[in-house]
Structure 1
């Protein structure tokens, strides 16, 4: 469960990060593809090589969805409902990939933010990213 302060901290952080959304998203995706090569299968129709426009475009979409959800975490199920449906029924993404991506995003944030990625922020962001992944996987049950 996230405290009120953690929710505020998460929302403030993602608000600050949206200007570099495409870079964060692309970095996290590349980390996921390198660490968990099986996740690439869902992107066979895109150029996912480092620096590709597809990678930056998709990375930005992901980060903006994460940032949108962070604005009001109590409404995460409502905010992500369209993405839940698309990923479960249209794209048929393995729900485990959401957890894998969440982990890669935490590593990306740590690298990008450096000392600003404090243990307090790390703990809050880990809880949020876990909730985000769980909500996306909800339609699979």
Structure 2
């Protein structure tokens, strides 16, 4: 699976347009993940407050979305570009890779809620495909 030139342009245009609110997207998506898929809370058991406005959630939301923008900058070579993140998630954090797919779903839902006019079916398809490729790149060290 790969992105067409049109899909790359669509992803870059949409994500750059929402850049000013990407921190909010990150924290909202992370809280949504923990509510809809409560098993994901186990990775954050050391945080006392798991609400949307908690300092830890907001900080980690920023880290996640910064990672998405880092991936956007490496869109033509995600496997090599995200190798360090893949190693960290596989060997240090030991994140179950199914959580990448679950989190992508939460990001897509959040984007559709926050940007209903801009999140057209074409944008949805391109962003979903891009995030799926990011997920595959993050899973490369699990294989």
In structure 2, C-alpha distance between the alignment counterparts of 1:56 and 1:80, rounded to whole Å? 22
Secondary structure of residue in 2 paired with 1:27: helix
- 2:95 is paired with a residue whose SS is coil
SS, match of residue 55 in structure 1? helix
How far 1:48 sits from its partner (Å)? 2.0
1:32-56 Cα offsets, whole Å, 9 max, x none, are 1111000010011223222001101
Q: Name the counterpart of 1:2.
A: 3
Greater displacement, 126-135 / 8-17:
8-17
Larger helix fraction of residues: 1
RMSD: 1.1
d(CA) in 2 for partners of 1:75 and 1:17?
A: 23
Matched residue, 2:106: 104
For structure 2, the residue ranges without an aligned partner over 5 or more in a row are: none
Structure 1 unaligned regions, length at least 5: none
Give the ranges of 4+ consecutive aligned residues of structure 1 lying more than 4 Å apart after TM superposition.
Answer: none
TM-score normalised by structure 1 residue count: 0.94
Task: Give me the whole-angstrom Cα distance separating, in 1, the residues matched to 2:79 and 2:13.
Answer: 20
